Amino acid sequence: MPTPRTEFGVATINNKIYAIGGYSGSVLRTVEEYDPATDTWTHKADMPTPRRQLIVVSVNNKIYAIGGVNFSSDPNSLIYSYSTEEYNPATNTWISRASMPTGGTVNSVLGNRFIGGAVANGKIYVAAHSNPGSSVPITHALEYDPTTNVWVSKTQPPFSYTRYTVASLNNKVYALSDFGELAEYEPFKNSWIIRPPLSTPRFRTGLASVGGKLFSIGGGQISSPVSTVEEYDPETQNWALRASMASSRVSVAVGEALGNLYVLGGSSNVSETFPSPLTTVEEGTLPPTGSVLQIPTGAAVTAGNGQVTIRWNLVAGATSYNLYMASDITLDRNNYASLSDGAKLVSVTSPHTVTGLTNGKTYYFFVTAADAGRESEESLGSSATPTAPPGLLWGTKAPMPTPRLEAGAAVVHGKVYVVGGFSGSALTATEEYDPVTDAWTTKADMPTARRSPVVAAVNNKIYAIGGMDYVEISQVTYSYATEEFDPSTNTWTSKASIPVGNSVNPILGNRFIAGTAVNGKIYITVFNNGGAPPISSMFEYDPTSNTWDTNKSPVPFGNAQYTVASLGGKLYALTSGSFAEYTPATDTWIIRPSPPQTLSQMRLVAAPGKNKLYAIGGYNASDIHDTVQEYDPVSNVWTTQVSVPVPRHSTTTAEVGGKIYVFGGSFFPDFVNVGGAPTFVRPLPLSDVEESQ
């Protein structure tokens, strides 16, 4: 490319690629045309407005340059551009079009530094994030119609605090965040669906579609650029690693011409203040359909007592799979035989369990797909360390139909009912899990959509109480609904609402509530941080009389969100820094020792057969934990147990037949620190289900 540049855009018309704008020591208006057929470049008319981090797309043989910013070495002094400019390659001329909107009712200044865009059905869709003048980032989606020259607002993307790279495929729009989160937008429905994230999350990656697939190319990890290429198949909803680029770079532009991918420019370092713009152009040739076996994806390992179980997704066209292993991290398909514990296990199926391993030793694995004459490239490597379990042994069960976090669960007749929660929005979904058959059944929706409801069972009925509904943390709507579900009739009935307060806490503000059933009544712990000082409360609900008692002894601490469980006729309340035991008969609390790891968003579950409590998952700062901590009420001591296989917070737990079940949750934090201040991040719900034995 004649001009080294980064943070620019490209578009293709008549199999020629146009590189527009960007940064190369200064912000550019330069336009250059690349002809892949002759491998030559031609300078074209400059864009009127110099800018970097802009959107460049083509519609009906015209190219549109939208938005972007202008700054050189100080990102704090940037100038936003809202320009929409149209380029006609046939005449080599530019004209101005309707400017991108500067904001909306919730975001008067768009601040469109973190934008991405793509074309679907002849219209241009823009995903935008901004945070100027606000402690809460705001996301926007916009639609531009080149025919009418009109902008309209659309449903916002499901991820906040991020920049987007965006591409379209099959008239759907895909937005990939800097955390590796992927969402699919359906223009006809004006709705977003969360899709599986990158297997190797990267920031400032390029995204393009070709051959019915999406390709995420390059980007950065921590402080270094990478050459990684991943392919997303919308049919299977799987990501697969593909051949890496020859060079590592961030902020590349990716175009398609003549059925090939072209990766242009970018920076050889991850600095936005002092990037190193490149002239590099690499061509990626796609193999003919079916000529190469796909790499197995979804490789996951679970360590057990002297054994490791490996799972992976099936590959179309593969007739068998090979599993390579060793206790040496340098493992590859050519050296396994010379390594300690090296082996190639042929014709294995997923899941496959390798037994006879040494506890405490770490083993490394990868999988390849094969048929009569071919073998795929290696899957992403995994490692595991077999360990003699102190008590719990985890296994993976059938995933929930609806990925979710902050749901509630209760058990009736040996079946678990998972209710409400969050999956891009607050849920009404009720789903029944049968541990005997490992099968899910959809049940009648709860009338009131909410996340973080209290869910408890009394006399074979399930009660969903309180909760909240919000997408952005600054826009919380509290629910005071009490709704009863009868599994035998699959029906919901409204009951007496949870009171909005009591004499010492007139405004409940029940964002931080938790509850459980003890001796036929449901106890709700409440923390209201809306006052000064914050106030904690304790309410009792009697399902038989359908009445509330708001004058129970309050929890002796009110410093975080609670998680509670009942064991031996007592209630236990746990927060990130405190733990206490409540006796309903005497309406008294006793402070108990906190667990070794004090985490936010843990979930407490009781195992009556063992007379133990378990605190599962959680996070501190941006670190998500797989921690399981066991409490013995007899000895009043906490110990660390075998970790749950998937790190998570805000999960849902239940106990059936002496086994503990963990449903969903999220492995993304609730917030990240930006400039020393906590900034809300939209979490990624999980559908995983784990069972302990």
Confidence class for position 139, pLDDT limits 50, 70, 90 = confident
Confidence class for position 614, pLDDT limits 50, 70, 90 = very high
Phi, psi for 75 (deg, rounded to 5): -65, -15
Specify the pLDDT at position 12: 96
Do residues 400 and 659 touch, judged by C-beta distance below 8 A? no
Spatial CA neighbour of 554 closest among 18, 576, 578: 578
Provide the phi-psi class of 529: left if phi over 0, else alpha when psi is between -120 and 50, else beta: alpha
Provide the phi-psi class of 39: left if phi over 0, else alpha when psi is between -120 and 50, else beta: left
Whether 531 and 648 share a structural domain: yes
Question: Would residue 294 count as lying in a domain?
Answer: no
Question: Would residue 454 count as lying in a domain?
Answer: yes
Question: Would residue 398 count as lying in a domain?
Answer: no
At 262, the amino acid letter reads Y
Specify the pLDDT at position 289: 60
- State in Å, rounded, how far the first CA of the chain is from the last one: 60
Q: 72-76, 142-146, 229-233, 253-257: lowest mean pLDDT where?
A: 72-76
Residue 329 belongs to a domain with what CATH number?
Answer: 2.60.40.10
Confidence class for position 110, pLDDT limits 50, 70, 90 = very low
* Rounded-to-integer distance, Cα 173 and Cα 446, Å: 31
User: In total, how many domains does the chain have?
Assistant: 3
Confidence class for position 200, pLDDT limits 50, 70, 90 = confident
Is pLDDT at 545 greater than 50 in this prediction?
A: yes
Specify the pLDDT at position 424: 85
Q: Higher confidence at residue 536 or residue 151?
A: 151
Is pLDDT at 681 greater than 60 in this prediction?
A: no
Cβ neighbours for 75, distance < 8 A, ≥ 6 positions apart: 272, 273
Strands 172-177 and 182-186: antiparallel
Whether 218 and 325 share a structural domain: no
Specify the pLDDT at position 104: 45
Name the residue with tokens 């790279």.
165
Return the ∠ at Cα 464 (arms to 532 and 568), rounded to 5°: 85
Whether 586 and 562 share a structural domain: yes
Domain boundary among 384, 411, 434: 384
* Average pLDDT score over residue span 422-444: 95
Specify the pLDDT at position 135: 47
Do residues 55 and 75 touch, judged by C-beta distance below 8 A? no
Q: 4-8, 461-465, 640-644: lowest mean pLDDT where?
A: 640-644
CA distances from residue 239 to 233, 328, 426, 518 in whole angstroms, order as listed: 7, 27, 27, 46
Name the residue with tokens 């190369």.
24
Do residues 258 and 238 touch, judged by C-beta distance below 8 A? no
Whether 631 and 668 share a structural domain: yes
Specify the pLDDT at position 381: 80
Q: Higher confidence at residue 474 or residue 150?
A: 150
Residue 632: give the domain boundaries.
403-692
Question: Would residue 153 count as lying in a domain?
Answer: yes
Return the ∠ at Cα 180 (arms to 244 and 193), rounded to 5°: 125
* Rounded-to-integer distance, Cα 337 and Cα 143, Å: 57
Whether 207 and 324 share a structural domain: no
Whether 461 and 600 share a structural domain: yes
Name the residue with tokens 């398909």.
333
Whether 506 and 477 share a structural domain: yes
pLDDT tens digits, one per residue of 468-502? 887 666 677 888 899 999 999 999 999 999 887 65
| Residue 66: CB atoms within 10 Å | 27
Specify the pLDDT at position 162: 66
Q: Higher confidence at residue 341 or residue 72?
A: 341
* Average pLDDT score over residue span 52-64: 95
Specify the pLDDT at position 608: 94
Whether 366 and 416 share a structural domain: no
Is pLDDT at 379 greater than 50 in this prediction?
A: yes
Domain boundary among 384, 416, 437: 384
Whether 328 and 448 share a structural domain: no
Residue 394's Cβ-side half-sphere holds a number of Cα atoms within 13 Å equal to: 23
Q: Higher confidence at residue 335 or residue 444?
A: 444
Whether 309 and 426 share a structural domain: no
* Average pLDDT score over residue span 212-217: 91
Q: 37-46, 141-150, 206-215, 549-558: lowest mean pLDDT where?
A: 549-558
Q: 129-133, 407-411, 538-542: lowest mean pLDDT where?
A: 129-133
Whether 114 and 232 share a structural domain: yes
Residue 140's Cβ-side half-sphere holds a number of Cα atoms within 13 Å equal to: 26
pLDDT tens digits, one per residue of 571-588? 999 998 899 999 999 999
Question: Structure tokens of 607?
Answer: 């195992």
Question: Would residue 1 count as lying in a domain?
Answer: no
Confidence class for position 331, pLDDT limits 50, 70, 90 = confident
* Average pLDDT score over residue span 134-139: 54
Question: Would residue 494 count as lying in a domain?
Answer: yes
Confidence class for position 111, pLDDT limits 50, 70, 90 = very low
Name the residue with tokens 């733990």.
579
pLDDT tens digits, one per residue of 235-247? 788 898 888 999 9
Do residues 232 and 216 touch, judged by C-beta distance below 8 A? yes
Question: Would residue 68 count as lying in a domain?
Answer: yes
Residue 243 belongs to a domain with what CATH number?
Answer: 2.120.10.80
Domain boundary among 240, 259, 284: 284
Specify the pLDDT at position 236: 81
Question: Would residue 397 count as lying in a domain?
Answer: no
Is pLDDT at 534 greater than 60 in this prediction?
A: no
Whether 235 and 351 share a structural domain: no
The proportion of the chain whose per-residue pLDDT surpasses 90, expressed as a percent, equals 57
Please list, residue by residue across 309-323, b when 16 or more beta carbons sit within 10 angstroms of its beta carbon and e when fewer do. Answer: bbbbbbbeebeebbb
